[in-house]
């Protein structure tokens, strides 16, 4: 595949793409975030409103279902206060004049004692008592003891629901049952208007999902919820088994249908309402379309503005481009003349400053390597002998640190993990060393060799810088271990050795590559001192201790003689630690 055709050779085209594309990305991401945030708020508000309206619809159904029960409570309460006996015949008459009641009958508890009765239309064996022939069969101080769960009943005359109410006398003897048949159409009356948002279809199902009533004639052949393999109905049925109310919608922006359901509290029914998703989520769709139009208009405006200012900028930027190519080849040349005071003029000034900094940085890097603090490197450059190859013999202070047990640890870890541990460790140690103006000679695996050049200061001050650097390095280790622990990496423990002595200090290498460092036997002794240090210990030699006797920030914890490899006589080493008055740079 030829990728060259995707490379823009014209500066104007490249600037147009590089400026317009980020703007479009930012606008699109911001618009998308705004839309999803607003959409979530609007959906939450809609769902809360939908549940409230479903709850109101469910309340109306329950109120109509239990309206006969409320009537009976009133009748018996009045009879108790007025000491008036009420016959079953009168109770039935009251029930029959209620809205939605198709039929009502009283069934005595003992059919053998029941008088002859007249049959009510559609009641089958449900008889109505003839109270004229049995005037003694009356209720006095009776109460409603229980209400049976409604059961669905349908016949050729329409959809009805039957409610059975048991009546008990003062002796808690069951007198009989009132059987009431009510129209489902009455129960669903005004539900669509009082219920949900722009709903045009509602239904009632029992706890098994069987349809009991619905307002849509196209659903007359439906028996159970989800029986037609409708994914929305199946999703409703699954959610009904776990929640008392909620809303359900399928995929789509917006979906074709949205459903809401609410379980009645006193009746084992669930009311379900369906509505057009485009109507309910219309405000969200309108907001989305308006946002998309706004993004398009903004992008077009940005494009016009960029093109308007592009031509004037291109010619000036081309000059900078030619100069930049020369700098990339190492030819810094003379500064570019500044001919204007606008943004392009500031750009030229910044470019000249950048070239000057690059030239200085290259000189520092070639002379002193990567691991010297830039400010201290400029101090070294102030000494003519520092920037030249060769060196001088003088006393310096060496510090060497090493991670205890790292070799064994590295044998059990993956290479990537080892590098991650070392990078985390070195990043903190290098920062501390540079703060104390130490010069890193080299890294030896997990060990660091540093020397402190006295330059124009007394050697005792240089020794204190090295000692304080060691204190701060050890004080930093808890923070390093906390960071490693967050990445499930093992803890580290470090030992440090410090020694002072005569070394050759200077630029070591060639004209192509050199670094500022030290050589000499004192460097080897520093390495041997470090090998004697245990975990979290700092060891110093007599040469270091002699120059720190007046330092109140240092205290000697213990001393011991040690035979060091390559050293003819035993040396006394001292374990030191910071005094309580020492204020570390690390927290």
Q: How confident is the model at residue 261 (pLDDT cuts 50, 70, 90)?
A: confident
Pick the more confident residue, 561 or 157: 561
Element (H, E) at 434: helix 415-435
Q: How confident is the model at residue 434 (pLDDT cuts 50, 70, 90)?
A: confident
Q: How confident is the model at residue 221 (pLDDT cuts 50, 70, 90)?
A: low
> Residue 537: pLDDT above 90?
yes
262-272 tens-digit pLDDT: 888 877 888 88
Instruction: Report d(CA 493, CA 537) in Å as an integer.
Output: 9
Give pLDDT, residue 471: 95
Q: How confident is the model at residue 448 (pLDDT cuts 50, 70, 90)?
A: very high
466-503 tens-digit pLDDT: 999 999 999 999 999 999 999 888 899 999 999 999 99
Pick the more confident residue, 470 or 191: 470
> Residue 132: pLDDT above 60?
no
Pick the more confident residue, 179 or 153: 179
Percent of the chain's residues with pLDDT above 70: 73
> Residue 156: pLDDT above 60?
no
Report the pLDDT averaged over residues 440-446.
87
Element (H, E) at 421: helix 415-435
Give pLDDT, residue 117: 38
Give pLDDT, residue 1: 44
Give pLDDT, residue 494: 95
Q: How confident is the model at residue 373 (pLDDT cuts 50, 70, 90)?
A: low
Report the pLDDT averaged over residues 274-301.
75
Q: Are 474 and 509 in contact (CB under 8 A)?
A: no
Q: How confident is the model at residue 136 (pLDDT cuts 50, 70, 90)?
A: very low
The 10 Å Cβ neighbour count of residue 478 is: 12
Report the pLDDT averaged over residues 309-330.
72
| Domain range 369-578, CATH architecture | 2-Layer Sandwich (3.30)
> Residue 17: pLDDT above 60?
yes
Give pLDDT, residue 126: 35
Strand 143-147 relative to strand 151-155, pairing = unpaired
Q: How confident is the model at residue 532 (pLDDT cuts 50, 70, 90)?
A: very high
Of 113-122, 286-295, 468-477, give the lowest mean pLDDT range: 113-122
Report the pLDDT averaged over residues 340-357.
77
Instruction: Report d(CA 453, CA 430) in Å as an integer.
Output: 17
SS3 annotation, 222-264 = CCECCCCCCHHHHHHHHHHCCCCEEEEECCCCCCCEEEEEEEC
Instruction: Report d(CA 29, CA 337) in Å as an integer.
Output: 41
Give pLDDT, residue 483: 92
Pick the more confident residue, 501 or 219: 501
CATH class (in words) of the domain with range 187-279: alpha beta
Q: How confident is the model at residue 135 (pLDDT cuts 50, 70, 90)?
A: very low
> Residue 223: pLDDT above 90?
no
> Residue 201: pLDDT above 60?
yes
Q: Which range among 167-181, 280-294, 444-458, 464-478 has the greatest average pLDDT?
A: 464-478
Instruction: Report d(CA 7, CA 500) in Å as an integer.
Output: 59
Pick the more confident residue, 22 or 532: 532
Strand 390-403 relative to strand 447-452, pairing = antiparallel
DSSP characters over 528-543 = HHHHH--TT-EEE-HH
> Residue 546: pLDDT above 50?
yes
Cis peptide before 573 (omega within 30 of 0): no
Query: Long-range contact list for 13-18, CB < 8 A, 24+ apart?
Result: 15/306, 15/310, 15/313, 15/314, 15/317, 16/303, 16/306, 16/307, 16/310
Of 222-226, 251-255, 426-430, 508-512, give the lowest mean pLDDT range: 508-512
The 10 Å Cβ neighbour count of residue 72 is: 21
84-110 tens-digit pLDDT: 667 778 888 888 888 888 888 888 877
SS3 annotation, 334-368 = CCCCCCCCCHHHHHHHHHHHHHHHHHHHHHHHHHH
Q: Which tokens go with 433? A: 């060393």
> Residue 295: pLDDT above 60?
yes
Report the pLDDT averaged over residues 333-361.
75
Give pLDDT, residue 526: 94
Torsion of the alpha carbons at 18, 24, 30 and 35, rounded to the nearest 10 = -160
Report the pLDDT averaged over residues 63-80.
76
pTM for the whole structure: 0.42
Report the pLDDT averaged over residues 344-357.
78
Q: Are 586 and 432 in contact (CB under 8 A)?
A: yes
Secondary structure letter of residue 585 according to DSSP = S
């Amino acid at each position: 595949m030829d990728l060259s055709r995707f490379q823009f050779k014209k500066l104007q085209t490249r600037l147009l793409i590089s400026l317009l594309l980020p703007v479009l990305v930012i606008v699109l991401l911001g618009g998308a975030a705004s839309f999803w945030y607003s959409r979530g708020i609007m959906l939450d508000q809609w769902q809360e409103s939908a549940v409230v309206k479903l709850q109101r619809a469910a309340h109306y159904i329950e109120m109509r279902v239990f309206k006969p029960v409320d009537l009976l409570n009133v009748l018996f309460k009045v009879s108790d206060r007025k000491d008036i006996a009420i016959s079953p015949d009168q109770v039935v008459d009251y029930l029959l004049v209620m809205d939605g009641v198709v039929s009502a009958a009283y069934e005595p508890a003992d059919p053998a004692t029941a008088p002859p009765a007249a049959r009510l239309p559609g009641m089958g064996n449900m008889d109505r008592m003839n109270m004229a022939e049995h005037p003694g069969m009356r209720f006095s101080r009776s109460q409603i003891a229980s209400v049976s769960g409604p059961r669905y009943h349908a016949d050729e005359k329409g959809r009805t629901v039957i409610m059975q109410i048991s009546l008990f006398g003062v002796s808690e003897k069951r007198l009989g049952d009132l059987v009431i048949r009510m129209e489902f159409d009455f129960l669903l009356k005004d539900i669509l208007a009082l219920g949900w948002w722009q709903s045009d279809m509602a239904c009632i199902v029992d706890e098994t999902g069987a349809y009991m009533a619905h307002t849509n004639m196209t659903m007359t052949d439906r028996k159970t919820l989800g029986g037609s393999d409708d994914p929305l109905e199946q999703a409703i049925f699954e959610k009904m088994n776990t929640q008392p109310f909620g809303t359900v919608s399928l995929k789509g922006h917006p979906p074709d249908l949205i459903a809401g359901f609410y379980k009645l509290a006193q009746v084992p029914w669930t009311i379900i309402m369906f509505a057009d998703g485009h109507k309910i989520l219309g405000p969200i769709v309108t907001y989305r379309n308006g946002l998309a139009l706004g993004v398009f208009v903004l992008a077009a405006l940005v494009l016009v503005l960029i093109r308007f200012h592009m031509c004037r900028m291109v010619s000036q930027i081309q000059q900078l481009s030619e100069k930049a190519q020369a700098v990339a080849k190492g030819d810094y040349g003379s500064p570019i003349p500044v001919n204007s005071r606008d943004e392009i003029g500031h750009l030229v000034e910044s470019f000249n400053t950048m070239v000057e900094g690059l030239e200085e940085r290259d000189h520092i890097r070639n002379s002193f390597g990567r691991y010297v603090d830039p400010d201290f490197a400029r101090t070294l450059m102030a000494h003519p002998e520092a920037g030249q190859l060769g060196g001088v013999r003088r006393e310096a202070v060496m510090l060497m640190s090493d991670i205890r047990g790292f070799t064994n640890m590295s044998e059990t870890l993956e290479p990537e993990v080892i590098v991650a541990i070392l990078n985390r460790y070195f990043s903190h140690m290098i920062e501390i060393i540079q703060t104390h103006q130490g010069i890193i000679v080299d890294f030896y695996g997990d060990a660091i060799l540093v020397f402190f050049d006295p330059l124009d200061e007394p050697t005792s001050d240089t020794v204190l810088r090295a000692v304080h650097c060691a204190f701060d390095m050890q004080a930093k280790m808890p923070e390093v271990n906390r960071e490693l622990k967050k990445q499930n990496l093992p803890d580290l423990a470090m030992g440090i050795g410090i020694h002072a002595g005569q070394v050759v200090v200077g630029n070591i290498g060639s004209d192509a590559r050199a670094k500022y460092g030290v050589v000499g036997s004192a460097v080897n002794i520093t390495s041997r001192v470090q090998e004697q240090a245990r975990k979290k210990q700092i060891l110093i030699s007599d040469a270091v201790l002699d120059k720190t006797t007046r330092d109140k920030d240092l205290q000697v914890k213990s001393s011991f003689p040690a035979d060091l490899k390559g050293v003819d006589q035993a040396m006394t080493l001292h374990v030191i630690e910071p005094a309580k008055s020492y204020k570390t740079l690390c927290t």
